[in-house]
A and B are shown apart, each in its own frame.
Chain A
């Protein structure tokens, strides 16, 4: 009979840690920051329920060096996630066709990212200057 014997190569278990998938892995992991930040906010809410002492302790922790380092790291990871989120946005939405030609994906990413930057900056400005 036939001597055909296809050889199946095993899929490496750690493919996600290897080039060229590291970029993807970092992108997905940076999404976890949202959960971590939500946990931080939740703990603040719990502290508020527990009374003024707990609330002050929580605020104190917020100002601690460890917390500042954590928030700095969360901010960087979040910014990265936002950037990559808008990078894949044009590939997850229906095709946008204007005037007979598809809108370039880079344009969609650029508009999306710009809107996010403007909104975030406005919010930061609002919080810092408190016009009301």
Chain B
């Protein structure tokens, strides 16, 4: 087996991984950095983010306002000390990206423009048309080429972490091109592998978003936190789940039901003003808007499409010029895939799974409980999203905490010594053996694609927009059954070079572990909060018992154990979450109290 020795290993080269690599290279130019990804960096799913990235910019805005929106948007399940750090560092990170060339959209005078976004009280979303993630990713990717200490291994698929002497010290990779294994050992390891949305059937995520890093850390005893909170994005393409950015509503788009009625006014987000306003109607938070869809569907007020019910995203009143300037990509998506000219007709949309709020447990400086291990971006749970992430906080998160992870890992690597190479390579060979056992398993087992379809269907049924205890329990049972059957799947392809039958099967193993964590975390949380809504007697938020993070712990051969940990509350005690007019009244009442 090939062995590469580095000082810092970064698994995943999307936005967070690249930002971490650059930060580490700048913080400690003498350290060697191995940046390893199962795809070329520009294919990472950061590329698909559309709407924008938050950062306080306008004079009328404040860090306190960004903090308040984030914490109430997260239904008070946020780590408030971490949110404070986050909002302070968003804008400098956006400026840093600008200095590296990110083509932020501008006002006519050449200053940065910001757009409105859901759940944000004031416009603070930096954007590059509706291809913000694409531009951030390519800016970081190209900037990373500047640093000779960053050595990339592209299309190297991680099959296991190397943990010895109580700390993370590397990982084992399968090179797609050769089918051979490589061990990379390092004194600090950063996981930046993104989310796990592909465990659901309809999702906005790319095929690579399979929760690899979450499962790897979990299997090595690192808890996954708040995994029951899966975000449904309310405006996606029926069938494929491809995303239509929230920026479409930020620019003034309306949501209508089959009667042309702006139905969100019936769900505590009104009144329906003729123009969109921050935190009203279409600019409410994603959880509320997706939940409103669920109710409209049951009332029979949605339209039918070939891929299930849909409501209408109406941009026609914006005019063709504005659509083409601000939302060119979604205009093309609607036209090319659905045959809808968004300037003339409304676009049929429905909710689809978009974002994994939870993830690998890390502290406010991205350190996992396992020494030497760091995590950043969607795979991590640094604590800023709580029970519901606000749109445009995730690109900001990967910038802010990607940098933190790079700096922290560099400091850790400088202060620690190399581990026992012999023992690490023994572990690596054992991991290789396990992967090869799957490759070489003979007989006529089931196809892993069939198992995947059963898994995604079970997740939608038991861990969807609304959850019922007994349905969630059924999902847990189905997943246990699938895990058993997974142990016997066989591949069509037993050769080594570019065997994606093999890597997809390994990914399914990761997905089953993560899916089970989501299902058990959902089953145990007997309340409704943010993106986790129950209809079986637990319809309300229960701060007494559940103002707490769920932690899922790995148990070999058994269901995960769920425990709870306190939430850090610094300056915002849990309050009522209100939007639209109700939100304004609530703020007025609060202001009165302070007078």
Contacts and interface: CB of A to CB of B under 8 A. Distances in A.
B495 A3 contact: yes
Residue in A3, A4, A5 with the greatest tally of chain B CB atoms within 10 Å: A4
B494 to A, nearest CB: 12
17 contacts: A2-B177, A2-B178, A2-B179, A2-B180, A2-B496, A2-B497, A3-B178, A3-B179, A3-B495, A3-B496, A3-B497, A4-B177, A4-B178, A4-B179, A4-B497, A5-B497, A100-B108
List 10 A-B pairs, minimum CB-CB distance, nearest first: A2-B178, A4-B178, A3-B497, A4-B497, A2-B180, A4-B177, A3-B496, A3-B179, A2-B179, A3-B495
B557 to A, nearest CB: 35
Interface of A: 2-5, 100
Contacts of A100: 108
Interface in B476-511: 495-497
Contacts of A2: 177-180, 496-497
A5 B495 CA distance: 13
The dominant DSSP class at the B interface is: loop
Contacts of B179: 2-4
Interface string B160-184: 0000000000000000011110000
Contacts of A4: 177-179, 497
Given A4-B179, A4-B497, 11 more contacts: A2-B178, A2-B496, A2-B497, A3-B178, A3-B179, A3-B496, A3-B497, A4-B177, A4-B178, A5-B497, A100-B108
Nearest to B175: A2
B111 to A, nearest CB: 15
Nearest to A100: B108
Contacts of B180: 2
A4 B180 CA distance: 10
A4 B496 CA distance: 9
Nearest to B180: A2
Contacts of B497: 2-5
B510 to A, nearest CB: 25
Nearest to A6: B177
Nearest to B498: A4
A100 B325 CA distance: 13
A101 to B, nearest CB: 10
Nearest to B496: A3
Nearest to A2: B178
Contacts of B177: 2, 4
Interface in B386-414: none
Contacts of A3: 178-179, 495-497
A2 to B, nearest CB: 4
A5 B178 CA distance: 9
B276 to A, nearest CB: 26
A100 B178 CA distance: 50
A3 B179 CA distance: 8
A5 B179 CA distance: 12
A2 B497 CA distance: 8
Contacts of B108: 100
A30 to B, nearest CB: 35
B153 to A, nearest CB: 15
A4 to B, nearest CB: 5
A3 B497 CA distance: 7
A4 B179 CA distance: 8
Interface in B105-133: 108
Interface in B174-219: 177-180
A2 B496 CA distance: 8
Contacts of A5: 497
A2 B179 CA distance: 7
A68 B2 CA distance: 75
A100 B109 CA distance: 11
B495 to A, nearest CB: 7
A31 to B, nearest CB: 37
A70 B278 CA distance: 73
A25 to B, nearest CB: 31
A1 to B, nearest CB: 8
B1 to A, nearest CB: 12
Nearest to B325: A101
A115 to B, nearest CB: 30
A94 B178 CA distance: 45
B320 to A, nearest CB: 15
Nearest to A5: B497
B301 to A, nearest CB: 42
A117 B178 CA distance: 60
B468 to A, nearest CB: 51
B29 to A, nearest CB: 33
A21 B519 CA distance: 56
Interface string B23-49: 000000000000000000000000000
Nearest to B108: A100
A26 B433 CA distance: 60
B148 to A, nearest CB: 27
Interface in B281-304: none
A100 B108 CA distance: 9
Nearest to B177: A4
A56 to B, nearest CB: 65
A2 B177 CA distance: 9
A87 B311 CA distance: 45
A43 to B, nearest CB: 56
B18 to A, nearest CB: 27
Contacts of B178: 2-4
A84 B496 CA distance: 50
A4 B497 CA distance: 6
Interface in B216-250: none
A42 to B, nearest CB: 53
A42 B496 CA distance: 68
A8 to B, nearest CB: 15
